[in-house]
Amino acid sequence: MTKRIIQLLIILLPFVIFICLLWIDLCPSGVKEVSIEVGESNPYVYSILPDERVSEVQYLEGGDAFVTIEDEPTYFSVTLPHADFEQMEVELEFDSYLQPVVEIGGLADIYSESYDLKPLLNTELDQLSWLEVSEGETRLLQREHNFSSVSEFLGDLPSRDSIGVYHYDLEEPYRLSNYQATNSEQTINVSLRGYHKYLTYIKDEDFYLKVDYMDMNRTTGADDAVIRIRDEADKVVFEYFIEDDNNEQENQVDSEGTAIIDQPGWLEGVYSIELSGTSDMFWRSISTTQQYMTFTSKIYIADDVGYLSSPRATVFYTDAKHLTFETTHADSVQSVKLGSQWIGVSQSHEKYTHTVEDSGLVYGYSSLGDVKITGDGKFAFTSGMFFNPDAVALNAYSDIEALGIDYILTTYNEPEQSRQWSTASATFDVDILEKFENSTKFTISTPGLIEFGGSVDIHSITIRFLKDQMTWRDIISAIRNLMPFGI
């Protein structure tokens, strides 16, 4: 009898192991948590990279391990479980020294290298003694007690230049009461490289865009591209796909084409246009009948090699007050004029930062082009095409008093404090994150770390994969679908 029981157990053991592993994969509770202290190994969370921006593992007297972020940006990858989770909550235990802002972001677009950033720390907001009312996840900070609730404020908005926002999208539509469509075509003869996004305004007019582009084939791989247009609700209203030229070699044999979009009947409002492509995609000329074309966050003025016989100068305008300049070619080192100052870009593959002293919209000039310019504001290639439909966006460099704002809307909350560490978390929708086979990528953003002379110590990273809790009917159905021979 004992022998038969042992035989039965041996026969059932693989089945039991399979069910146990299947149960772990299914995660019926809807929550799968993995946590790693720096210095440990974990099959789900990988070390913070690159190594040259992160210290070796160090230890506090109490034994807590940590690494110090010494330069930015830094990244880590997360392996996704087999089950289909809907959200990921990412929690950091950290300690910040002289670093005013720490954010966490999931990679949302590989072409633009853009991350869906969420706030973990903002010391200026934490130290602000303004009056506060909150509603759901939204906090309203106000210099004077003029509004009793967030709803009251949103229902009677003050002027946008008096409102600061930090990780908050102001949903109240932006309107230009005196806007008149002109229907006259404007052409921007500026070469732009890779992903760009601009804003425009439409009222009682067709949307018209003509873009001349070139696939430069300077890197290996396909160079598919898309021009994607979103309305003010962030809904995609039109897409124009550009297929690769079937040259995936790094042979610098270029091909060119023209994209024309002509769409009538769109509602009044602000629209965003994404010129989305790899670094091999050069947008050589842009024509539009819209009055405004204001680029957000960056412009990458491309070189003219293979297009013109000699480099050309580029004029631009920006309201950004903190900018970074970089060129990737040694023969494109230059000085860029910005307002009343010149910024030397004296070496390739080096980033040069600059704070603008002039107020308002400033004039910029690059004699050679071939320079990537990023900033905390917007850009246009003529002063007449510049407009700003957004409230004042706060960042690591913002001086709230100097900005003259009276209200701040934010979804940020001060981190919890426990012993040495601050603890803060952010939640991401898995669907919007870029996937690399079975993993995704996050950045720990510490803007201005070197300039502030600061550092950020990271003690641990915790990931919570979230989905709806499964019923027994769901569990049985999932097991049936996954069993090798069905049941």
Q: What is the mean pLDDT of residues 119-126?
A: 96
Domain limits, the chain:
2-28+470-482, 173-292
Amino acid 77: pLDDT:
95
What b/e sequence results for 273-300 when a residue is b if at least 16 CB atoms lie within 10 Å of its CB, and e otherwise?
bbbbbbbbbbbbebbbbbbbbbbbbbbb
Q: How confident is the model at residue 470 (pLDDT cuts 50, 70, 90)?
A: low
Are the beta carbons of 448 and 84 closer than 8 angstroms? no
Task: Provide CB contacts within 8 A for 110, sequence distance 6+.
Answer: 434
Token readout for 75 is 């990244």
Amino acid 487: pLDDT:
45
The one-letter amino acid code at 4 reads R
- Asked whether residue 211 carries a pLDDT value surpassing 90, the answer given is yes
Q: What percent of the chain has pLDDT over 90?
A: 70
- Asked whether residue 472 carries a pLDDT value surpassing 70, the answer given is no
What is this structure's pTM? 0.82
- Asked whether residue 19 carries a pLDDT value surpassing 80, the answer given is no
Query: Across the chain, what does the average pLDDT equal?
Result: 90
Q: Which of 172-176, 246-250, 270-274, 391-395 has the lowest mean pLDDT?
A: 246-250
C-alpha angle 409-410-411 in degrees, rounded to nearest 5 = 145
| Topology of domain 173-292, CATH | Jelly Rolls (2.60.120)
Greater confidence, 125 or 399?
Answer: 125
pLDDT tens for 339-376 read 989 999 999 999 999 999 888 899 999 999 999 999 99
Amino acid 359: pLDDT:
83
Q: What is the mean pLDDT of residues 302-321?
A: 90
**160: number of Cβ within 10 Å:** 17
3-state DSSP call for residue 42? coil
Q: What is the mean pLDDT of residues 165-186?
A: 92
Token readout for 208 is 């018209």
Handedness of CA 53, 56, 61, 64 (dihedral sign): positive
Amino acid 485: pLDDT:
46
Nearest to 286 by CA among 186, 388, 371: 186
Amino acid 161: pLDDT:
87
Q: What percent of the chain has pLDDT over 70?
A: 91
First to last CA, the chain: 29
**357: number of Cβ within 10 Å:** 11
